[in-house]
Amino acid sequence: MDVSCTIIADDQEARERLSRLLSQTNHVDIIAQADNGAEGVRHALEKQPDVVFVDVEMPGMTGFDVVREVREQGGRHTFIFVTGYDQYAIRAIRHAAFDFLVKPVDIDDLKAALERFIEQKSRKENGRISDMFIRQHNLTGREVEILSLLAKNQNSKEIAEALFISKHTVDTYRRRLLEKTGYKSTNELVHALLKANG
């Protein structure tokens, strides 16, 4: 499965490094690069990449601003934040980032993030969670990924290990899923999901 990517970062060296790393991974096509947020938003909306790698701290328009602008214009892109500041992790989750990579990006971390994206995309294409359910509740890529594992009766610890994230992060997503869908418990949510899937 080929993955199309866009890179948005004001630091030329960071863009070039990420581009080199992506070229070392299989089935990845970099279709656009931008050195500022506004240009990045335009590329994302026009070229519709599968994954947008976006720096957090950029002058004028931050990575968070980019995500918000694309979402407001109807984009359902998968965003992976890239930054040298790991304190942004929780904000990244709140802004619907699929993943979070700390600079200098490690090739193994990058490959793992792409593999998770490909696995999630494959599950969605296989109809594990209906598009109608996703659209109805405006679920992000990561939320779909976690919900699909919850539907397989995996607990937070198991999901954390499977996705290489912390249990705390999984619990944060679980709370967000309940808030967005309006269900009182994970059991209710999974039951509704299975019913929606027929």
Is 57 within 8 Å of 88 (Cβ atoms)? Answer: no
Q: How confident is the model at residue 127 (pLDDT cuts 50, 70, 90)?
A: very low
Domain 127-196: top CATH class: mainly alpha
What does the pLDDT average to over 143-161?
88
Does pLDDT of 151 surpass 70?
Answer: yes
Q: Which residue has the higher pLDDT, 191 or 172?
A: 172
Task: Output the pLDDT for position 171.
Answer: 94
Does pLDDT of 119 surpass 80?
Answer: no
User: Hey, is 184 helix, strand or coil?
Assistant: coil
Q: CB within 8 A of 178, min separation 6: which ones? A: 184, 185, 186, 189
Task: Output the pLDDT for position 30.
Answer: 94
Domain 3-118: top CATH class: alpha beta
pLDDT tens-place string over residues 36-73? 999 999 999 999 999 999 999 899 999 999 999 998 88
Beta-carbon-side half-sphere exposure of residue 90 (alpha carbons within 13 Å): 4
Task: Output the pLDDT for position 27.
Answer: 81
Residue among 90, 105, 78, 133 at smallest CA distance from 22: 105
Report how far residue 92's alpha carbon sits from residue 81's, in angstroms, rounded to the nearest whole number. Answer: 7
Burial letters 9-23, b for 16+ CB under 10 A, else e: bbbeebbebbeebbe
Instruction: State the alpha helices, DSSP H only, in the chain.
Output: 12-23, 37-47, 63-72, 89-94, 107-125, 131-136, 141-150, 156-163, 167-181, 186-196
Does pLDDT of 123 surpass 70?
Answer: no
Instruction: Report the alpha-carbon angle 13-38-33, nearest 5.
Output: 40
Task: Output the pLDDT for position 4.
Answer: 94
Q: What is the largest CA-CA distance in the chain?
A: 49
